[in-house]
Amino acid sequence: MEMMTRMPLLGDKFPEMTVRTTQGVKNLPGDYAGKWFILFSHPGDFTPVCTTEFVAFNKRFDEFRNEGAELLGLSVDQLQSHLKWTEWIENNANEKIKFPIIADEMGLVAQQLGMIHPGKGTNTVRAVFIVDPNGVMRTILYFPQEIGRSVNEIMRAFKALKYADEHKVACPENFPNNEWLGQGTVIIPPAATEAQIEERKAQVERGEIECLDWWLCYKKQK
């Protein structure tokens, strides 16, 4: 297993590793080659906030998959603990967990990915890694143990990343619901040459885009 010697950064390749999960052994990122995947850690099984998160992730599982992303959970608990916890969730929340959960009982994966912060104890913090089809880490989020994550925001960030890649644009605050520029707007890459400035002006005249200045141009998403 390749060991990272520093905290992972945006743009890093996800480290190659073989892990045990509730759905069998998986090789990361190889088993997800060509797909987006979202790895999220939780401090511990049978904890209240984590349980609410897992129910929420599971309720959106089909939407994530339909959008092209697989989900993958993790904590430093044993495999049997994961299996008992998912059984409890199914019996008490009527949610059969559809995604695999990594059993990282030795904490090796968590250490590689910076999920254990000494100031927050020996459990994993609430980390989220959105990894693209090339195995590159595109979004990294860390939450403290006492604050639950918003699955809606993770879905929004994933969809924005995918849209930006496909259409070669940038996404404004709270895309696709930016209050200032308007519903469904995307940002055109800023002009980098005098010729591009003139092209932006021509695009405005043709009604293809709108600009507040040559460096801030936008249009409605397709």
- Write out the catalytic residue numbers: 50
Place of tokens 């994961």: 82
Which residues, in sequence order, are CB contacts of 209 under 8 Å at separation 6+? Answer: 188, 200, 203, 217, 218, 219
* Contact by Cβ (8 Å): 141, 161: no
Which residues, in sequence order, are CB contacts of 200 under 8 Å at separation 6+? Answer: 188, 191, 209, 211, 214, 217
CA distance 8 to 132: 15
Q: β-pairing, 17-21 with 24-28? A: antiparallel
